[in-house]
Structure 1
Amino acid sequence: MKKNYFTALIAGSFLFLSSLHSCIHESLETEITNVQQDPVFYIKNEYMRGKDMVAGKLIEWEKVREYKHEGTVVLITVPVKNEGNRLIEELTFRIDNGKVSGHLWKFESNSDFTPSDYNLTAHEIMGKMTGKVSYTSLEGSMRYEKQIVRGEMIDEVAKSGSGSADAPACRACHDRNGGLIIGTPGNPIDTGPVVIPNPGGSGPTNPFPPDNPTIPIPGVIIIPNNPPGNDPCSKIKGQKGTAAYNQNISDLKGKTGEKKETGYSQKANGEFTYHSKASTNEGSNSLSLPDATVYKDVSGYMHTHVDNTTYFDDAGNEITRTGIKMFSPADVDYFMDMLANAQAAGRPLNDVYAVMVSTNSIYQIRFTGTAGQVKTFTDDQMKTFSDPYIKQMENSKNLASDFLKFLKDNMGIEGVNLYRIQQMGKTTEIKLGPDGKTKESDCP
């Protein structure tokens, strides 16, 4: 069989697939000191260590491409050599403030890629492609996949605009010409399109794609985590000033003595829905919230963790069911699903929240990290968290501190802060510092 090696060209599609989970949805980021001194060296020799996902793949480091803004490397792409003519793979590495996040991208076409395809921009290639596009984080748990028919994602066609590259979620990250946008929402800086010229002039004359096809740099947006007025403290203050939120909190406060959890979910349009269906037995209970894979417009929820109760087992022994008055791994999993859905829809991540109400406390979690720190979990992964969580939390002397440490150390979650809320008083922000110690500060 004749081998046909296709080098990938996906820098432009790094943005195109933003509609999977917003313009940029990346894995956890790895901080590499002095990465800008020699980005390729550091990525190849430090970041890639232990990345078993790419073991055995022929990574063409000699064909690496760097994209810069004002002299600083912001993106690196490296093709992966493959046999066949229906698969394109490439590694991308985004660099933001010394932190690297990497992905493996795959473009699987139902028909052959042709040499002329490699003279097109990535968006133009995707605009004519039918097949499957996916990307997988090199660290963390994320894997996203979309079916495309003639350039349109069949389950997520842009709600406005004429095509997938015109999707609302993409416009915040790049201009219509493929330019790079950095800066802030109030002061965006458009670098204009950055094009890598095709070697050899007018294009390839052989059946193999060119090493450096003409492609625009993907959109990269770097914005403050919490612009003024949109920080978690301001968001919570706004919630506490609304009648519906306060009424729901008061309602849940009055139900912490029940045997099962109750709660409310809130849609992105502000509408609240009450939930009381819980899988409950003498040993445990868990509230059922709307399926996040179906009801993707849920942007927040609040629920109870009920008081300790006693019951008798089959032998007549009195047993005390002691609940942990803090968010559970399942609570956090649902929170991360809401964040992922918000990214996919282009909604602000700082609008997403979760609340836990018990007799003696009210806690809320908010996301304060980068887009690359949003991650989701499989059912099998979630099963591994239960026992370590109970072991760490059941005898905890500082639930807030141990909860945040569990998120970071066991679930690999960063960029989530905890807020202790007094219904008629102050709100206290609790976050985990670089030294692993929690720091508290009252919201203004």
Structure 2
Amino acid sequence: MKAYRAQLLRFDAQGQALYESDGLLVTGPGSDGVRRVIDAGAYRAVAARHPGVPVTHWQGRLIAPGFIDMHVHYPQTDIIGSPADGLLPWLTNYTFPAEMRFADPAYAAEIAHVFFEELLRNGVTTALTFATAHPASVDAFFHEAQKRGLRMMGGKVLQDRHSPDGLRDETEQSLADTEALIRRWHGKDRLGYAITPRFAPTSSEAQLRGAGELAARYGDTWIHSHVAENRDEVRWVRELFPQSRSYLSVYEDFGLLRARAVYAHCIHLDADDRALMHASASAAAVSPTSNLFLGSGFFDFGAAQAAGMLHGLASDVGGGTSFSPFRTMLAAYFIGREGQSKPGLSLAPSELWWLHTGGAARALGLQGCTGTLATGTEADFVVLNPDAIPLLARKARRAQNLQELLFALIVLGDDRVVERVVTA
């Protein structure tokens, strides 16, 4: 066993923050070889329960759960910060040309390496990730994640229409490739497969139907796509699927709404859509920096909360403008003040943090597994140094309570604050 002494932030199953100004985290190997939290809490009480366990002291540091990114595109690492007039022009001018290169396994491996370096540099220990339409891109992603011992989910993009040559796949082959990749990677070490239609407009009815059949056959896989990000996109879906009640209902019609189904954005939903998300246990991956960058709109946190709709935070790189959870949480705070059904909504700093850790884990169907540092969970955590940035150091020293400390980190923090990342 190993023990670490520092300030300690954890969460209970309801999302309440648990904080110790002098805490101790004790970890040890589980029966599956994954390191888990054995005990955590106030230093004096926890240390007394584990005499003889060596303690690493991190004075002035904060131990917190590793961040979870609910929606990110690893093939778009190199196009972050590319200017565009909106979602559809951005896809045409930057995204599709970049993704065509992932037919080359060597190039896919190169970008996968850079991607994971960026995730870990920013304290992200788990992510649900798009690959491209090429099976080689999925293999590169999982090889790199497995080498690093990380908990990661991802999958081959399904797009058999309205896509350029070099990305458009053939319907039957795309489904056969998906099933082969599920069998190759799902459940290996800490890896999970995500059945990944790009979004409804780029999949034929036959491909969506096949994806739903795979989702039923492999019930513990993830489903990962986009919905209701942009008004032009919503209009396009209405034209393509006139028989469906809404954009979200398209996925329901093909058996693609269930637990572990994660849909990025979910901006332009109505009350019936949110009720459907709740009833199906599907989750929204809220991508605030991407939504601001592309001018897509504002996720309605108040309406989502009222509907009991699962949701958590995501970077959505490369539409998102930063891998940093601090930037994502700050953008979510801004969005939480705009376009809301509940006027004057203000997301508390600990709530923002929860949505990027334990809340994201719950939305992904990983509750009790990671994201909280509760006893028995996997020991993925970050060690944060508020002294890494002079202005943040001044602000943190003057914090009167946990909310002020967390908000100072959210507003002023960046990758320099992430001093260590420890994975299970």
**Fold agreement, TM-score > 0.5:** no
Return the structure number with greater helix share. Answer: 2
TM class, shorter-length: under 0.3
TM-score (norm 1): 0.24
TM-score (norm 2): 0.25
Return the structure number with greater strand share. Answer: 1
The structure with the larger Rg is 1
Structure with more relative contact order (C-alpha pairs < 8 Å, separation 6 or more)? 2
